[in-house]
Amino acid sequence: MAVQDFVARVRNRKVLSTALILLTLAIGILLGTLISTGVRAQRQAAAPDATPLSIPSPVQLSNSFSQVAKRVSPAVVNINAETLARPTTRRRRPSDEEGEDPREEMFRRFFGRPFEFFDAPQGQRSHHLGSGVIVDPNGYILTNNHVIAQADRIRVKLKDDSTLYDAKVIGADPETDLAVIKVETRKQLATAKLGNSDAVQVGDWAIAIGSPLGFDETMTAGIISAKGRQIGGGRQSQFQRYIQTDAAINLGNSGGPLLNINGEVIGINTAIVSTTGGFDGLGFAMPSNVAINVFNQIIKGGKVIRGSIGIGFSEPTDNSRDAALRVYGAKEGGVIVNEVEPGGPAEKGGLKPEDVIIAIDGKTVRNGDDLVGIVAGSAVGAKLKLTLLRDKDRMELPVEVGDRTEVFKERNAQAREEPAGTRQGTEEMFGIRVSNLTREQRRQWEYEDPNGVAVVEVDPSSFAADIGLQKNDIIVSINRRPVSSVQDVKLIQRDLKPGSDVAFRIMRRDRVSGRAQWRALVLAGSLPPNA
């Protein structure tokens, strides 16, 4: 019996242990199920229709840039322009009385000290470093004119070659700041492929290769941030429409290539705009299509010849351009002629100030860029048929293209003097004060036109200021109605209503060869609704 009792107790204990184990497992399973269900329920409640994200396979974007570097960098050269200091050729400083050319100031800020190398002691050589790109296997290199313009000796360093090769200038074009030089070597030279800059779009990748700050074969990347940028002034800037990039460009990059992601040259790096003298995110390159045209003309004739018909025009701001054209009867664009060069092709052809050119040889002219592109690209001696509006009537005139360097022998440098004047009228609608011109004033200012009133004050927050009217301008007509007195301005103003289009034809003084000369401008806009 004792044995049986012992066996029974053991069995009962096993059953109890087993029961306890099973109970524990059951509780664990239940808790796990509840927790898992709760977590799933919580996830489903947060975003039940969301698809989990996955990490994509690595894309070798950097490989695209490295391939461009391998392919193009052998064609990029370092240029060392040496100049023997001569006291007689010292450049002006900003403190000189006659001031400093705005374009020279732009490049001085870009390159810093190299623009002051003429101040070195006489007989010592100064070095101006820049870049260039080989575009022909016979050693022809595209670079900037300002890199080599003042050099007595130009030497070129090739990639992976310590030799400095002497180069000669084939030709230069100051108006686009481009130049072609040539080196003679016994080695086979790599060349860069030029692309079509018209295909460039804002947002495209941009790659710069050059010798910034003396560091050869430096590559930087960014994007095209704008197109058609104009950063200078005057007639010369008509041929300077830059590609803007945020690819880092610094001292020494000038003359080097700006590339697209395919390794094609889409521009020649020319300048930066900077508040510090270093890279601030704004670099500018002359488009490759311009460079190709300049290169082809230089290798053919040693220089660039551009056509001209001998007119002056101004491009109103975007807000005022349409208003000006509507006043002159042009509904679909055009260029308002402000000046006709005496003895030039346009005058000989019968063109007059205030004519509006709307087409040339059947090609629509919507703006100044269209006009300059057609005329400057025409051969000297070519006959062009100008379609224009005169007093809102359509007519055609034949004009023979001249050589621009012959048509415009002198360039205007703005240095307007301050004329005296007595305040005789307040034009609140326009936001200006004007005065009648006395005989003495006309004599002092060398202003012979019997018409016109002088602007003696412009409200900086007014309509007049918005369209560009300035103190000392002379208003000769408003909406094509002649103005010879303050009273004329008041009468014309009475006929205008808020929102009306208004076009001022004015005369503004420039200085040419030391004496004041007047040039005509058209400034226009739409009066504000509450004027």
Q: Encode pLDDT of 320-334 as tens digits.
A: 778 888 888 888 889
345, 310 contact by CB (below 8 A): yes
Is the predicted pLDDT of residue 96 greater than 60, yes or no? no
Is the same domain home to 393 and 435?
no
290 found inside a domain:
yes
Q: Clarify whether residues 385 and 297 are in a common domain.
A: no
286 or 449, which is more confident: 286
Q: Which of 303-307, 354-358, 444-448 tops mean pLDDT?
A: 354-358
Pick 319 or 201 by higher pLDDT. 201
Do the domain assignments include residue 203?
A: yes
The segment with the largest mean pLDDT, out of 41-45, 65-69, 167-171, 465-469, is 167-171
Q: Are residues 293 and 207 in the same domain?
A: yes
Please indicate, yes or no, whether residues 367 and 495 belong to a single structural domain of this protein: no
Residue 114 belongs to domain spanning:
70-302
| Model confidence at 408: pLDDT above 80 | no
Are 257 and 397 contained in the same domain? Answer: no
Instruction: Judge whether 23 lies within some domain.
Output: no
In the predicted structure, residue 268 carries a pLDDT above the cut 60: yes
To the query of whether residue 146 is one of the catalytic residues in this protein, the response is yes
Q: Is residue 57 part of a domain?
A: no
User: Where on the phi/psi map is residue 484: left (φ > 0), alpha (ψ -120 to 50), or beta?
Assistant: alpha
The whole-number pLDDT of residue 36 equals: 56
CA distance linking residue 183 with residue 154, whole number of Å: 10
Task: Tell me if 361 is assigned to some domain.
Answer: yes
pLDDT at 425 over 80: no
Q: Which of 126, 131, 146, 308 is catalytic?
A: 146
Q: Report which DSSP code applies to 194.
A: B
Which of the four pLDDT bands, split at 50, 70 and 90, describes residue 158?
A: very high
* 126 in the same domain as 107: yes
Q: Examine the domain organization and report whether 129 and 261 are in the same domain.
A: yes
Cα separation of 380 and 377, whole Å?
A: 9
Which pLDDT belongs to residue 453?
A: 92
Whether pLDDT at 169 is above 70:
yes
pLDDT of residue 195: 92
Q: Output 494 or 25, whichever has higher pLDDT.
A: 494
- pLDDT for 358: 92
Q: For residue 296, give the H/E element and its range.
A: helix 288-301
pLDDT at 94 over 60: no
Residue 14, domain member (yes or no): no
Statement to judge: residues 276 and 317 lie in one domain? no
Q: What angle do CA 281, 282, 284 make, to 5 degrees?
A: 140
Shared domain for 272 and 247, answered yes or no, is yes
Confidence class for position 60, pLDDT limits 50, 70, 90 = low
**Using CA atoms, how far apart are residues 531 and 525, in angstroms rounded to an integer?**
12
Count the neighbouring beta carbons within 10 Å of the beta carbon of residue 480: 13
pLDDT at 357 (0 to 100) = 94
Plot region of 112 (φ>0 → left; ψ -120 to 50 → alpha; else → beta): left
- DSSP letter at 23 equals H
Of 180-189, 258-267, 307-316, minimum mean pLDDT range: 307-316
Where does a domain end: 302, 334, 362?
302
Q: Do 279 and 131 belong together in one domain?
A: yes
Is residue 81 in some structural domain?
Answer: yes
Q: Which residues contact 403 (CB under 8 A, 6 or more apart)?
A: 305, 306, 307, 308, 380
State the residue for tokens 């070129």.
156
17 classed as catalytic: no
- Give the single-character DSSP code of 267: E
DSSP symbol at 7: H
Residue 34 has pLDDT above 90, yes or no: no
Catalytic-role residue among 73, 254, 378, 462: 254
Q: Give mean pLDDT, residues 137-141.
A: 94
Mean pLDDT of the 266-289 span: 80
Summarised one tens digit per residue, pLDDT across range 38-48 is 545 454 557 77
- DSSP secondary structure, 132-179, as one string: EEEEETTTEEEEEHHHHTT-SEEEEE-TT---EEEEEEEEEETTTTEE
Q: Are residues 282 and 402 in the same domain?
A: no
Stretch 395-410: mean pLDDT: 86
Residue 297, both tokens: 């003309």
Q: What is the pLDDT of residues 463-478, one digit of tens each?
A: 888 888 998 899 999 9
β 335-340/356-360 pair status: antiparallel
d(CA 459, CA 426): 11
Q: Which of 48-62, 362-376, 460-474 has the lowest mean pLDDT?
A: 48-62
Residue 268 parent element (H or E):
strand 265-272
Q: Examine the domain organization and report whether 185 and 271 are in the same domain.
A: yes
- CATH number, position 90: 2.40.10.120
In 3D space, the residue among 166, 295, 272 whose CA is nearest the CA of residue 210 turns out to be 272
- C-alpha 428/C-alpha 101 separation (Å) is 37
CATH number at residue 348: 2.30.42.10
Q: How far is CA 12 from the centre of its chain?
A: 97
**DSSP letters spanning 403-443:** EHHHH--S--B-----------EEETTTTEEEEEPPHHHHH
Which range has highest mean pLDDT (63-67, 279-283, 294-298)? 294-298
Q: Residue 472 domain-assigned?
A: yes
- Assess whether pLDDT exceeds 60 at residue 393: yes
DSSP category for residue 17: H
Average pLDDT of the residues of the chain: 78
Going by pLDDT thresholds of 50, 70 and 90, the confidence category of residue 259 is very high
Q: Whole-prediction pTM value?
A: 0.60
Residue with tokens 């005509």: 520
Per-residue pLDDT, 251: 76
Q: Is the pLDDT of residue 112 over 70?
A: no
Residue type at 281 in one-letter notation: G
Last residue of a domain, one of 407, 437, 472: 407
**What is the domain count for the chain?**
3
Distance CA 520, CA 314 (A): 9
Catalytic residue among 173, 177, 216, 370: 177
Is there a catalytic annotation at residue 131? no
Q: Name the burial class of residue 132, with classes exposed (0-12), middle (13-18) and buried (19+) by CB atoms within 10 angstroms of its CB.
A: buried
pLDDT of residue 134: 94
Residue owning tokens 């686009």? 176
Confidence of residue 217 (pLDDT cuts 50, 70, 90): confident
Q: Which of 407, 441, 460 represents a domain boundary (last residue)?
A: 407
> Which whole number is the average pLDDT over 237-249?
80
